[in-house]
């Protein structure tokens, strides 16, 4: 890192500080702090959706996945079509309900107990997946790029983790969601530009696209998009079952994402923002996953040296992107790309912090202490942010061991999400499409599904660690492919929710009016129709066409 690189990073942080300062002047009530006053336009909504999704765990973890297993994780990155589903199917219900959180929507549709369950599950999941993974990935970048700046690479790791968490926590606490979404507009473009640069320079150093294909062809099975069902890690059927379940949970029901649409100034802006975000979501395969494969090819051809895993069994995939930045980028450009990496880290963390604060304040604190004034709720939200930051930092050493001992960050993240998502996805889909689904069915599905998912996660972790031996029922369950298990858990959750709902009295008819597709009033249907035009239709078709085009090309790219 040269003086010019640091100047570029400094200018970037000054820009972020200016946005935060302006945002902090407009925090008058909870709507301002948690939903940016519900006055966000479609362009900002879409950029915020993309930047919230693309954190340092994507840049670091997805590039590492590309180096270790090629296109196998691309199925999760081609979820732009699910954002179109979110725009057309889910957004109208959420926006019209005027809620702050997804658990609050569940209370409207079912009852308070379902709200409590989703609130607690979401907060636990954020700490042990998103916060810890994002912070660890950012710290790994510091460790790779600045190994001697703070005395040792280990010191660089912890300095990177703590400094970025503290700085991001400060600006989230001060500026609320308004600061988060407007900084994410700047972060989106820095992130895209920086990632395009590393992809282009990596291909140029390697000798072009044809050289990449020829280098990867001897290992075509390893880098293929589709794997046989005998593949222990990514059987194609298991992947195609699990990835939409996780995608619908993440893009259509998760507070972390949906909160951006709730902050839109109109239903049209919320829908169009989701469509614009879907277009941006088409790019991660090209600017994060493919650079990982480029890094592998450069390493194989002796052009760069990627660190090895501690046990020496192969390259440390999560270090690929940072190694490429260090080895390939010229002065000045390195600063821009590092700013992009920091952007990814900060945007995801800021979104997480604000979402956690919103969930805790609106769904837990306000239930325990009803009647709290607006200023007190904002203070509670800021304190909740601080607690989440501390919990995430405590989990980092465990994340370090998980990343170094397994397939990497992204594989860990998708596995955990595959066990969390099925019951939540089932309850939301059934709740929106069938008015007969009631509170007892939804509550049972959430609780039992969550317990089964956590049991599988525990057994899988113990089995991989050798604690369960080499045989036995528990060992078999632990070693059973997680993606197939996700599909079975989803099916079980659907049967359970429907079964209990049909065996118990239905919800009062007045409670579900306007909250399910089969209970919309003529006025609500007319409102939905007036909120879109040909622009939204064409945009949606472009996104779906892009997804199909990527699938068509990469299905046979190494054949």
Tell me if 450 sits within 8 A of 121, measured CB to CB: yes
Length of the chain counted residue by residue: 559
Neighbours of 331 (CB within 10 A): 12
- Low-confidence winner among 84-98, 317-331, 503-517 (lowest mean pLDDT): 317-331
**pLDDT band with cut points at 50, 70 and 90 for residue 310:** low
**pLDDT band with cut points at 50, 70 and 90 for residue 487:** very high
**pLDDT band with cut points at 50, 70 and 90 for residue 503:** very high
Give the pLDDT of residue 174. Answer: 64
| Among candidate residues 379, 404, 429, the one where a domain is terminated | 404
Give the pLDDT of residue 499. Answer: 96
Same structural domain for residues 450 and 350? Answer: no
Same structural domain for residues 378 and 419? Answer: no
Give the pLDDT of residue 186. Answer: 74
- Give the dihedral sign, CA 444/449/452/454: negative
Give the pLDDT of residue 40. Answer: 82
In a domain, 189, yes or no: yes
Tell me: pLDDT of 247 over 70: yes
**pLDDT band with cut points at 50, 70 and 90 for residue 493:** very high
Phi, psi dihedrals of residue 308, rounded to the nearest 5°:
-95, 160
Give the pLDDT of residue 312. Answer: 62
State the Cα–Cα distance between residues 482 and 465, nearest whole angstrom.
16
Q: How far apart are the first and last CA of the chain?
A: 41
- Give the dihedral sign, CA 28/30/31/33: positive
Segment 151-164 shows an average pLDDT of 75
Tell me if 34 sits within 8 A of 262, measured CB to CB: no
The share of the chain scoring above pLDDT 70, in percent, equals 87
Give the pLDDT of residue 430. Answer: 95
The 10s digit of each residue's pLDDT in 50-84 is: 877 876 667 777 888 888 888 888 888 899 999 99
Tell me if 215 sits within 8 A of 297, measured CB to CB: yes
Give the pLDDT of residue 398. Answer: 66
Phi, psi dihedrals of residue 407, rounded to the nearest 5°:
-75, -5
Segment 490-516 shows an average pLDDT of 93
State the Cα–Cα distance between residues 199 and 292, nearest whole angstrom.
9
Same structural domain for residues 75 and 196? Answer: yes
Same structural domain for residues 359 and 279? Answer: yes
In a domain, 120, yes or no: yes
Query: How far are the Cα atoms of 155, 298, 545 from residue 211, in angstroms, in the given order?
Result: 38, 10, 28
State the Cα–Cα distance between residues 438 and 497, nearest whole angstrom.
8
Give the pLDDT of residue 535. Answer: 94
In a domain, 171, yes or no: yes
In 3D space, the residue among 288, 302, 251 whose CA is nearest the CA of residue 90 turns out to be 251
Residue 465, classed as helix, strand or coil, is coil
Same structural domain for residues 477 and 506? Answer: yes
Same structural domain for residues 152 and 31? Answer: yes
**pLDDT band with cut points at 50, 70 and 90 for residue 277:** very high
- Low-confidence winner among 405-409, 455-459, 526-530 (lowest mean pLDDT): 405-409
Neighbours of 441 (CB within 10 A): 27
- The parent domain of residue 89 ranges over 3-404
Phi, psi dihedrals of residue 264, rounded to the nearest 5°:
-65, 155
Tell me: pLDDT of 208 over 80: yes
Same structural domain for residues 391 and 469? Answer: no
Same structural domain for residues 120 and 187? Answer: yes
Tell me: pLDDT of 25 over 70: no
State the Cα–Cα distance between residues 318 and 310, nearest whole angstrom.
13
In terms of pLDDT, which residue wins out, 50 or 431? 431
Tell me: pLDDT of 131 over 80: no
Q: Map 508-552 to HEC letters.
A: CHHHHCCCCHHHCCHHHHHHHHHCCCHHHHHHHHHHHHHHHHHHH
Segment 533-541 shows an average pLDDT of 95
CATH code, domain with 327: 1.20.1730.10
In terms of pLDDT, which residue wins out, 318 or 45? 45
Tell me: pLDDT of 547 over 70: yes
Give the pLDDT of residue 343. Answer: 67
Tell me: pLDDT of 35 over 60: no
Query: How far are the Cα atoms of 52, 202, 532 from residue 340, in angstroms, in the given order?
Result: 13, 17, 34
State the Cα–Cα distance between residues 181 and 260, nearest whole angstrom.
8
In a domain, 443, yes or no: yes
Tell me: pLDDT of 234 over 90: no
In a domain, 358, yes or no: yes
Tell me if 54 sits within 8 A of 191, measured CB to CB: yes
Tell me if 310 sits within 8 A of 404, measured CB to CB: yes
Give the pLDDT of residue 323. Answer: 83
Phi, psi dihedrals of residue 16, rounded to the nearest 5°:
-60, -45
**pLDDT band with cut points at 50, 70 and 90 for residue 38:** low
In a domain, 302, yes or no: yes
Segment 294-316 shows an average pLDDT of 80
Same structural domain for residues 378 and 425? Answer: no
In whole angstroms, how large is the CA radius of gyration of the chain?
23
Tell me: pLDDT of 152 over 90: no
Write the CB contacts of 439 (distance below 8 Å, at least 6 apart in sequence).
110, 111, 113, 114, 507
In 3D space, the residue among 351, 46, 429 whose CA is nearest the CA of residue 178 turns out to be 351
Tell me: pLDDT of 406 over 60: no
pTM above 0.75, yes or no: yes
Same structural domain for residues 205 and 247? Answer: yes
Segment 263-287 shows an average pLDDT of 91
**pLDDT band with cut points at 50, 70 and 90 for residue 33:** low
Task: Annotate 314-379 with DSSP letters as a single string.
Answer: SB-GGGHHHHHHHHHPPTTHHHHHHHHHHHHHHHHHHHHHHHHHHIIIIIIIHHHSTT--HHHHHH
| Among candidate residues 378, 404, 430, the one where a domain is terminated | 404
Tell me: pLDDT of 443 over 90: yes
Tell me: pLDDT of 404 over 60: no
Same structural domain for residues 387 and 415? Answer: no
Write the CB contacts of 231 (distance below 8 Å, at least 6 apart in sequence).
none
In a domain, 263, yes or no: yes
In a domain, 305, yes or no: yes
Segment 180-203 shows an average pLDDT of 79
Segment 119-139 shows an average pLDDT of 75
Same structural domain for residues 169 and 121? Answer: yes
State the Cα–Cα distance between residues 325 and 397, nearest whole angstrom.
25
In terms of pLDDT, which residue wins out, 151 or 98? 98
The torsion region of residue 370 among left (phi > 0), alpha (psi -120 to 50) and beta comes to: beta
Helices then strands, each counted (H, E), the chain: 30, 0
Summary mean pLDDT of the chain = 82
Segment 174-183 shows an average pLDDT of 66
| Among candidate residues 404, 419, 442, the one where a domain is terminated | 404
Looking only at Cα atoms, what is the longest distance across the chain? 70
Give the pLDDT of residue 276. Answer: 95
Tell me: pLDDT of 518 over 80: yes
Residue 307, classed as helix, strand or coil, is coil
Give the pLDDT of residue 130. Answer: 72
Number of domains composing the chain: 2
Q: Work out the burial of residue 368: count CB atoms within 10 Å of its CB; fewer than 13 is exposed, 13-18 middle, 19 or more buried.
A: exposed
Write the CB contacts of 352 (distance below 8 Å, at least 6 apart in sequence).
126, 130, 131, 134, 256, 388
């Amino acid at each position: 890192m040269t003086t010019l690189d640091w100047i570029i990073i400094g200018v970037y942080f000054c820009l972020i500080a200016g946005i935060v300062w302006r945002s902090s002047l407009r925090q008058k009530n909870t709507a301002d702090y948690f939903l940016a006053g519900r006055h966000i336009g479609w362009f900002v909504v879409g950029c915020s959706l993309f930047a919230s999704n693309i954190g340092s765990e994507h840049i670091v973890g997805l590039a590492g996945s590309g180096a270790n297993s090629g296109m196998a994780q691309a199925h999760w990155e081609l979820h732009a079509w699910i954002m179109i589903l979110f725009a057309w199917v889910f957004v109208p219900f959420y926006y019209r309900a005027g809620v702050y959180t997804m658990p609050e929507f569940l209370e409207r549709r079912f009852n308070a107990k379902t709200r409590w369950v989703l609130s607690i599950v979401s907060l636990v999941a954020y700490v042990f997946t998103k916060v810890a993974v994002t912070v660890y990935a950012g710290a790994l970048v510091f460790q790779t790029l600045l190994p001697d700046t703070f005395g040792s690479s280990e010191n660089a790791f912890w300095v990177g983790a703590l400094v970025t968490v503290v700085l991001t926590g400060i600006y989230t606490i001060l500026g609320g969601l308004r600061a988060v979404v407007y900084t994410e507009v700047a972060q989106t473009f820095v992130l895209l530009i920086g990632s395009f640069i590393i992809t282009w320079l990596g291909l140029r150093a390697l000798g072009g696209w044809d050289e990449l294909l020829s280098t990867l062809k001897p290992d075509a099975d390893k880098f293929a998009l589709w794997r046989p069902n005998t593949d222990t890690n990514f059987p194609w059927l298991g992947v195609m079952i699990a990835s939409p379940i996780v995608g619908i949970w993440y893009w259509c029901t998760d507070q972390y994402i949906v909160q951006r649409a709730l902050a839109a100034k109109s239903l049209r802006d919320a829908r169009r923002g989701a469509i614009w975000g879907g277009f941006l979501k088409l790019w991660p395969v090209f600017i994060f996953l493919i650079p990982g494969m480029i890094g592998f090819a450069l390493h194989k051809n002796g052009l760069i040296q990627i660190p090895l895993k501690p046990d020496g069994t192969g390259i440390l995939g999560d270090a690929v992107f940072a190694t490429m930045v260090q080895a390939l980028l010229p002065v000045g450009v390195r600063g821009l790309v590092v700013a992009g990496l920091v952007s990814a880290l900060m945007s995801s963390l800021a979104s997480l912090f604000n979402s956690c604060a919103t969930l805790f304040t609106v769904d837990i604190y306000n239930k325990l202490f009803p009647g709290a004034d607006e200023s007190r709720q904002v203070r509670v939200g800021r304190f909740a942010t601080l607690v989440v930051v501390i919990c995430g930092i405590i989990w980092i050493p465990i994340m370090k061991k998980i990343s170094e001992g397994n397939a990497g960050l992204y594989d860990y993240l998708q596995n955990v999400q595959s066990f969390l998502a099925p019951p939540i996805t089932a309850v939301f889909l059934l709740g929106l499409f069938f008015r007969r689904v009631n509170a007892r069915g939804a509550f049972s599905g959430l609780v039992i599904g969550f317990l089964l998912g956590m049991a599988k996660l525990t057994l899988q972790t113990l089995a991989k660690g050798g604690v369960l031996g080499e045989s036995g029922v528990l060992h078999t369950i632990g070693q059973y492919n997680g993606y197939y298990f996700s599909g079975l858990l989803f099916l079980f959750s659907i049967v359970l929710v429907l079964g209990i709902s049909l065996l118990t009295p239905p919800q009062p008819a007045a409670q579900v009016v306007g909250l399910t597709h089969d209970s919309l009033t003529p006025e609500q249907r007319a409102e939905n129709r007036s909120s879109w035009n040909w622009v939204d239709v064409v945009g949606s078709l472009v996104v779906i066409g892009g997804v199909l085009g990527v699938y068509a090309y990469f299905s046979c790219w190494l054949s």
